[in-house]
Chains A and B, each alone.
Chain A
Amino acid sequence: MVDPLISGLITKCIMMTIKMKKGSPHVDKIFKYVAIGAATYVLAIIALIVFNLGTGSAQVWQQEGISFLTGSDWNSVEGRESYGAAPYIMGTLVNAGIAMAIAIPLSFGIAMFLSELSPRLLRTPLAMVIELLAAVPSVVYGLWGLLVFRSYIKDWIEAPLHNVFGDNSIIFAGTPFGLDILTASIVLAIMIIPTIASISKEIMMAVPNSQREAAYMLGATKWEAFRLAVLPYSKSGLIGACILGLGRAVGETMAVTMLIGNATGAAAFPSSLFQPGQTLASIVANEFAEASQGGLHLAALVGIGLILFMMAFAINVVAHLLVAKVVKSHEGAVLA
């Protein structure tokens, strides 16, 4: 880094030579207000989202009341319309939960490998591939899951499990078909692994080496140094990364819609892994085209959007508070 004083001087000289105009005070004011306006736009959008999802779904809340959250009927036949989101709320939680259970250990494994164990030659390309995979659109994961992964999982995981445990075991009951909760959550896990892994890696690599050296000095093995120096230092950051991953898992739409089998009503309550399910996001994507404008069905789907919004909002607020805390405590550690 160039000395700030010197760089300041250099800039000064450059500006002298290009004969900078000083600018007008009016434009300066306008500029500031435009900037404030742009920032306010973000808040306005969020407010508008809440407002519009609220008004768009008002009809269904009036009709169903609290049973929109607790009920499990889902019937869009005119005259017998009834909407309850409970199965999809559960489906979302179960689906995201399974995905997280798979993704977290694997992501941490990758992050730990990249930050602590990997030889340098392997680190850069591997990290790059992981990062690039985080950029692959979800619809591509969905396509792959549908056309390739589905048959593998059906023949190699679901069929053997079903044969061993049979229909009497609750979670492995039902004929394996490949379009079910298990497939959707595994592909979901594959999708969020790059995200969690690359953020976790950055967080682990941000732990100063002096911390690791302190542990080695005490005679720690590599694992012990990780446990003693890296893990406590980066704990809340890693939790933040996981919650961020959870937020994405909960809101993930396309891949899940393509793979989860799309059950509706009480049948969508998750019980067996081999049973078709439904999440908040997937039911909206699936049924949207069928809902007529101005009808209760549409209001119900918008209402589901509102529920999803609340869930995602809560998750992300927690994640960002955690990450902010980490950044703060890290700065503290550096300053002290």
Chain B
Amino acid sequence: MMETVTKTPTKESYTEDIKYKLIAENIYASYDGIVAVKNVSMKFRDRAVTALIGPSGCGKTTFLRCLNRMHELTKNATLTGKVLLDGEDLYSNKVDPIINRRKIGMVFQKPNPFPTMSIYDNVACGLKLNGVRDRKILDEVVEGCLKMASLWDEVKGDLKKPGMSLSGGQQQRLCIDRALAIQPEVLLMDEPASALDPIATQKIEEMIQELKKEYTIIIVTHNMQQATRVSDYTGFMYLGDLVEFGETKQIFENPRNETTAKYVQGQFG
């Protein structure tokens, strides 16, 4: 089955689309009045990995940040459009953004662990924030998360060491754990491996495959091999537009759009 979203979204009722975890509708996002994302609509399946590819500066990060209301934290940033999580509008005035951000974890391009916190606290801080005080539960979640990133064996002896003492790849996996600890439903990853070496990258890709069983994952990458390796669906963005969106296999082997074809063949980017 193929999901191609054209630039004019089809008027479907959302109850029929419940199989989609996250739906973005007509997103326009701009900085200082300069539009970075133009009328992008996309639907994300649960328990699947969707990759966003495109040359740098095409608005992938911006679009991703619209999906958990992170975009509005940037100064002079504006946004229109809708984002539906399980059919509920993230941008409705009724819910405070802090409630929804918690449900949508995010991993940033550069690892950003809290430098003054220990490895343990880096993972546990989100739980503490959300009112988990029970030491036993905290220990259990921290261990579970660290195991999920196969970081456990590497750090179990020194959970008290500062998060900054880890290597770049370990730091990034720690950041993924930090996002996973609060038990989100969706995981947004912005070029999570762009600053890492091949081995660390491979570890993260393996982890994504594992996480996919339970999460809706959206990953931005400009590494096309990575997109083919990890994703089920792929969206190609160019100059703020979503040019083409479909199954990864189709996008890479049989693109319908000329620009897409040029990009996946590596003719620019």
Contacts and interface: CB of A to CB of B under 8 A. Distances in A.
A219 B115 contact: no
Given A213-B106, A213-B112, A232-B117, 17 more contacts: A120-B75, A208-B112, A210-B110, A211-B112, A211-B114, A213-B108, A214-B108, A217-B101, A217-B179, A218-B125, A218-B126, A218-B182, A219-B182, A220-B98, A228-B129, A232-B116, A336-B164
B75 A218 contact: no
Given A218-B182, A233-B115, A210 B99 contact: no
Contacts of B179: 217-218
Contact of B99 (A219, A229, A235): A219
A234 B253 CA distance: 50
A218 B115 contact: no
B101 A216 contact: yes
A102 B221 CA distance: 51
Interface residues of A, number: 23
A216 B102 contact: no
A233 B163 CA distance: 13
Contact of B70 (A120, A213, A228, A229): A213
A214 B175 CA distance: 9
B164 A332 contact: yes
A120, A208, A217, A235: which has the most chain B beta carbons within 10 Å? A217
Interface string B82-113: 00000000000000001101100110101011
Ranked nearest first, the 8 interchain pairs of A and B with the lowest CB-CB distance are A219-B102, A218-B126, A232-B116, A210-B112, A217-B106, A219-B98, A333-B115, A219-B101
Contacts of B108: 210, 213-214
Contacts of B75: 120
Interface string A225-241: 00011001101000000
A208 B112 CA distance: 9
Contact of A232 (B99, B114, B129): B114
B129 A214 contact: no
Nearest to A211: B112
B116 A217 contact: no
B73 A213 contact: yes
A287 interface: no
A211 B129 CA distance: 15
Contacts of B102: 218-219
A208 B126 CA distance: 19
A140 to B, nearest CB: 36
B43 interface: no
A7 interface: no
Contacts of B115: 233, 329, 332-333, 336
A219 B130 contact: yes
B45 interface: no
B178 interface: yes
A228 B117 CA distance: 9
Nearest to B102: A219
Contact of B164 (A120, A213, A216, A333): A333
A155 interface: no
B70, B73, B112: which has the most chain A beta carbons within 10 Å? B112
B73 A216 contact: yes
B203 to A, nearest CB: 19
A171 to B, nearest CB: 38
Nearest to A332: B164
Given A211-B112, A213-B112, A214-B178, A228 B125 contact: yes
B4 to A, nearest CB: 31
A211 B163 CA distance: 13
A232 B126 CA distance: 15
A224 interface: yes
A11 interface: no
30 contacts: A210-B110, A213-B70, A213-B73, A213-B106, A213-B108, A214-B112, A214-B113, A214-B114, A216-B98, A217-B106, A217-B179, A218-B101, A218-B129, A218-B182, A219-B98, A219-B101, A219-B182, A220-B98, A228-B125, A228-B129, A229-B114, A232-B114, A232-B116, A232-B117, A233-B114, A329-B115, A333-B115, A333-B164, A336-B115, A336-B171
A45 B123 CA distance: 52
Contacts of A235: 116
A128 to B, nearest CB: 18
Contacts of A218: 101-102, 125-126, 129-130, 178-179, 182
A94 to B, nearest CB: 34
Nearest to B115: A333
B29 to A, nearest CB: 16
Contacts of B68: 217
